């Protein structure tokens, strides 16, 4: 029987079937649903870690103890976890360990589009890349076998178009392998697992030897396959790029790579001997292309396709035609149509109606402060018309950057803004740094009691685990006081007058300080209050409320109106209207 699954669901299913018992992740688009799906299978432990590094250490520990483990993260999460990735390659492990990296070419929901295939070469471990959901399921099992056979963690790469696309998956009638009757003893092996220089020096040659064995395995592995075609063109591709190329070049001969590192050198040479021209179709970096060129084989690749953005079948066709590898298609877009399309107003993402962040950013804009920002829904505070957040680089950067700006000294007043989940992820250390190095940075923790951006995941502050168990909730206020902060206030961002007053007090103070702007995400708790309405006779059409950028507020002929279907009834617009024209019965 076949069932429709997203790539992420299929990865989780494959892990379950292969006997993975321990999973850990931090949410991040497009990887989030992997651990959410895995959490639903019986007999598994599936957790949200505070960040990706912790998740990978948890997975590594489980694998050291002999259990199969799954760790998942988005591409930039691997940057956070990189330290752990590298030691795991040195030590190896006992149970299989699969690390999923879900890359985001075109940055649908990311700050960059780094190509994480480079991590495989950098950290010296094998990487697989499935091309549809069925392969995603199968590759997880193969990766675990490979992990145990070669004594190494294995990375599995996905991209947005795999993680978030659905295709049929064959359901298995077999149950996952049973647990051992008795828990095994921990395998103590100091030279293998203690990476002090003397032992680590012994391990490095093991890794180099292992890579050679993996390359030989790649040559014979069914993960890589040659698909004969007609004609002289040969295409080398993996993952979704393979699917696009398959569609555009139905006649070509293909080398479809399921194992993207190390590459199958012998197979590539055989392939090169069969075709006249080799075209490498890959998104982002020339990862295959450069390695194949180093083998002394001439290929076309990034002279045809861009290094930036994601590919689509349409783009593969267009670039291939421009490079003379395909007949030019006759599709010409009328100039008038293109111009009319470009003139259509865009619909950028924005803060939801009822979002507490809107109140906070209105107050911050009115205060005229520079806001050193972070990653989460509140990053949308940078979007017009609010335009009240001035930096966003990576998870946890806000507080450290604010401290640096304070050290450099600017005339403007500054604050750091960071979400509750992001704070637990990587905001704690920079908050300690502010105290330790004694600057007067004000940190605002926007506490909406959930990891909202990625679709409402629990975190250490919510008191609930991924698998729905009650647990101790870390209290933000108690926590920041416990590390030594004395000036701490908790405010409701719906109450903007109070928030503005508290902010003024903090900005005047020479002490390092924290404001917790607490208001649960309305989408998460499904709260909706009675929508207010605009009295058109009172409305002077001054546009002040429109500057909140709230979707239900609409410009009519000579006044503003509120769409009651979209409105969440938070009342923030009522507070900013200078003439009291927005009223609630």
Partner 1 sequence: MKKIDFILTGVGGQGTILASNVLTEVGLALGYDVKKAEVLGMSQRGGTVESHVRWGEKVYSPLIEQGEVDYLLGFEMLEAGRWPLYIKKGAMAIVNRYRIPPPAVNLGKAKYPREEEVESLLKTAAGRVLWIDAMKIAGDLGNPAVVGVILLGVLSLQVGGALDTWLEVVKRLVPAKYQELNEKAFLTGREIVAA
Q: Is 313 in the site for partner 1 (CB under 8 A)?
A: yes
Footprint on residues 54-83 left by partner 1 (CB under 8 A): none
For the CB of residue 308, give the shortest distance to partner 1 in the complex, in Å. Answer: 17
> Is omega for the bond preceding 30 within 30 degrees of 0, making it cis?
yes
For the CB of residue 163, give the shortest distance to partner 1 in the complex, in Å. Answer: 10
Q: Considering only CA atoms, which of 490, 545, 499, 515 is closest in space to residue 364?
A: 499
Q: Is 201 in the site for partner 1 (CB under 8 A)?
A: no
Q: Is 450 in the site for partner 1 (CB under 8 A)?
A: no
Q: Per-residue x/- mask for partner 1, residues 216 to 255, rule CB under 8 A?
A: ------------------------x--xx-xx--------
The CA-based angle 316-318-322, given to 5 degrees, is 115
Distance CA 42, CA 17 (A): 11
For the CB of residue 550, give the shortest distance to partner 1 in the complex, in Å. Answer: 9
- Which of 120/453 has CB closer to partner 1? 453
For the CB of residue 131, give the shortest distance to partner 1 in the complex, in Å. Answer: 9
Phi/psi for 215 (5° steps) reads -65, -40
Q: Considering only CA atoms, which of 38, 43, 543, 182 is closest in space to residue 55?
A: 38
Q: 494, 356 in Cβ contact below 8 A? A: yes
Distance CA 283, CA 239 (A): 10
Distance CA 79, CA 85 (A): 9
For the CB of residue 332, give the shortest distance to partner 1 in the complex, in Å. Answer: 11
Footprint on residues 118-137 left by partner 1 (CB under 8 A): 132
Footprint on residues 157-186 left by partner 1 (CB under 8 A): 160-161, 164-168
| Residues, the chain | 585
CB under 8 A: which stretch of 390-398, 431-439, 527-535, 550-558 binds partner 1?
550-558
For the CB of residue 195, give the shortest distance to partner 1 in the complex, in Å. Answer: 39
Phi/psi for 169 (5° steps) reads -125, 135
Count residues contacting partner 1 (CB under 8 A)? 54
CA 183 to chain centroid, in Å, comes to 35
Please state whether beta strands 97-103 and 69-74 pair in parallel, antiparallel, or not at all (unpaired).
Answer: parallel
Cβ atoms < 10 Å from Cβ of 288 = 24
- Which of 295/340 has CB closer to partner 1? 340
Distance CA 481, CA 498 (A): 21
Judged by CB under 8 A, the residue of 40, 43, 83, 108 near partner 1 is 108
Q: Considering only CA atoms, which of 376, 348, 349, 378 is closest in space to residue 363?
A: 378
Q: Is 581 in the site for partner 1 (CB under 8 A)?
A: no
For the CB of residue 99, give the shortest distance to partner 1 in the complex, in Å. Answer: 24
Phi/psi for 127 (5° steps) reads -135, 135
- Which of 205/348 has CB closer to partner 1? 348
Q: Is 544 in the site for partner 1 (CB under 8 A)?
A: no
For the CB of residue 561, give the shortest distance to partner 1 in the complex, in Å. Answer: 10
- Which of 367/554 has CB closer to partner 1? 554
Footprint on residues 341-380 left by partner 1 (CB under 8 A): 341, 344-353, 377, 380
Judged by CB under 8 A, the residue of 54, 98, 278, 452 near partner 1 is 452
Distance CA 223, CA 270 (A): 16
Judged by CB under 8 A, the residue of 230, 333, 469, 470 near partner 1 is 333
Tokens representing 556 are 């009519």
CB under 8 A: which stretch of 326-334, 390-398, 417-425, 507-515 binds partner 1?
326-334
Q: Is 562 in the site for partner 1 (CB under 8 A)?
A: no
Cβ atoms < 10 Å from Cβ of 414 = 19
Q: 131, 237 in Cβ contact below 8 A? A: no
CB under 8 A: which stretch of 284-292, 364-372, 436-444, 548-556 binds partner 1?
548-556
Cβ atoms < 10 Å from Cβ of 518 = 18
For the CB of residue 80, give the shortest distance to partner 1 in the complex, in Å. Answer: 20
Phi/psi for 99 (5° steps) reads -110, 115
- Spatial CB neighbours of 215, under 8 Å, sequence gap ≥ 6: 262, 263, 264, 265
Please state whether beta strands 225-227 and 253-257 pair in parallel, antiparallel, or not at all (unpaired).
Answer: antiparallel
For the CB of residue 233, give the shortest distance to partner 1 in the complex, in Å. Answer: 17
Judged by CB under 8 A, the residue of 12, 453, 499, 517 near partner 1 is 453
- Which of 181/335 has CB closer to partner 1? 335
Q: Considering only CA atoms, which of 9, 48, 45, 58 is closest in space to residue 27?
A: 48
- Spatial CB neighbours of 478, under 8 Å, sequence gap ≥ 6: none
Q: Is 12 in the site for partner 1 (CB under 8 A)?
A: no
- Which of 390/456 has CB closer to partner 1? 456
Residues in the site for partner 1, rule: CB under 8 A? 2, 4, 108-109, 132, 160-161, 164-168, 240, 243-244, 246-247, 312-314, 317, 331, 333-334, 337, 340-341, 344-353, 377, 380, 384-385, 452-453, 455, 523, 543, 546, 549, 551, 553-555, 565-566
């Amino acid at each position: 029987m076949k069932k429709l699954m997203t790539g992420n669901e299929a990865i989780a299913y494959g892990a379950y079937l292969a006997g993975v018992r321990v999973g850990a992740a931090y949410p991040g688009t497009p990887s989030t649903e992997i651990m959410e799906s895995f959490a639903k299978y019986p007999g598994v432990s599936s957790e949200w870690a505070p960040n990706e590094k912790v998740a990978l250490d948890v997975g590594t520990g489980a694998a050291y103890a002999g259990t199969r483990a799954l760790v998942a993260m988005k591409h930039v999460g691997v940057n956070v976890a990189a330290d752990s990735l590298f030691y795991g390659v040195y030590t190896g492990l006992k149970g299989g360990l699969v690390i999923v990296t879900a890359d985001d070419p075109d940055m649908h929901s990311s700050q960059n589009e780094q190509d994480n295939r480079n991590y495989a070469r950098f950290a010296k471990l094998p990487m697989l890349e499935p091309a549809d959901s069925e392969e995603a399921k199968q590759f997880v099992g193969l990766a675990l076998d490979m992990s145990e056979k070669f004594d190494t963690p294995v990375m599995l790469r996905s991209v947005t178009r795999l993680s978030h696309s659905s295709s049929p998956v064959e359901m298995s009638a077999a149950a996952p392998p049973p647990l051992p009757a008795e828990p095994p003893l921990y395998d103590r092996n100091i030279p293998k697992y203690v990476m002090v220089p003397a032992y680590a020096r012994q391990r490095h040659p093991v890794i180099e030897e292992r890579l050679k064995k993996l390359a030989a395995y790649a040559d014979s592995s069914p993960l890589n396959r040659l698909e004969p075609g007609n004609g002289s063109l040969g295409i080398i591709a993996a993952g979704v790029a393979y699917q696009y190329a398959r569609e555009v070049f139905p006649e070509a001969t293909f080398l479809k790579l399921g194992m993207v590192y190390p590459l199958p050198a012998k197979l590539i040479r055989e392939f090169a001997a069969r075709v006249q021209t080799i075209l490498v179709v890959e998104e982002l970096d020339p990862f295959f292309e450069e390695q194949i060129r180093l083998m002394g084989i001439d290929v076309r690749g990034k002279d045809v396709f861009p290094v930036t953005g994601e590919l689509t079948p349409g783009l593969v066709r267009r670039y291939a035609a421009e490079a003379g590898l395909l007949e030019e298609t006759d599709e010409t877009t009328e100039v008038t149509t293109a111009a009319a399309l470009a003139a259509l107003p865009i619909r950028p993402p924005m803060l939801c109606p009822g979002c507490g962040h809107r109140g906070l950013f209105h107050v911050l804009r009115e205060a005229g402060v520079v806001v050193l920002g972070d990653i989460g829904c509140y990053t949308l505070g940078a979007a017009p018309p609010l335009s009240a957040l001035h930096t966003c680089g990576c998870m946890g950067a806000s507080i450290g950057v604010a401290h640096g700006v304070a050290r450099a000294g600017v005339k403007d007043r500054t604050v750091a803004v960071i979400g509750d989940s992001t704070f637990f992820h990587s905001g704690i250390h920079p908050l300690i740094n502010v105290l330790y190095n004694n600057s007067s940075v004000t940190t605002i923790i926007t506490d909406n009691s959930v990891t909202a951006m990625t679709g409402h995941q629990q975190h250490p502050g919510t008191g609930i685990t991924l698998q729905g168990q009650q647990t101790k909730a870390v209290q933000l206020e108690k926590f920041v006081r416990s590390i030594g902060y004395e000036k701490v206030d908790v405010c409701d961002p719906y109450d903007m007058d109070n928030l503005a007053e508290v902010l003024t007090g903090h900005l005047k103070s020479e002490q390092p300080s924290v404001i917790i702007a607490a208001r649960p995400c309305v989408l998460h708790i499904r709260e909706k209050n009675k929508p207010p309405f605009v009295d058109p006779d009172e409305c002077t059409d001054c546009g002040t409320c429109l500057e909140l950028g709230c979707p239900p507020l609409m410009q009519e002929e000579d006044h503003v109106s509120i769409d009651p279907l979209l409105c969440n009834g938070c009342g923030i617009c009522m507070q900013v209207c200078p003439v009291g024209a927005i009223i609630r019965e």
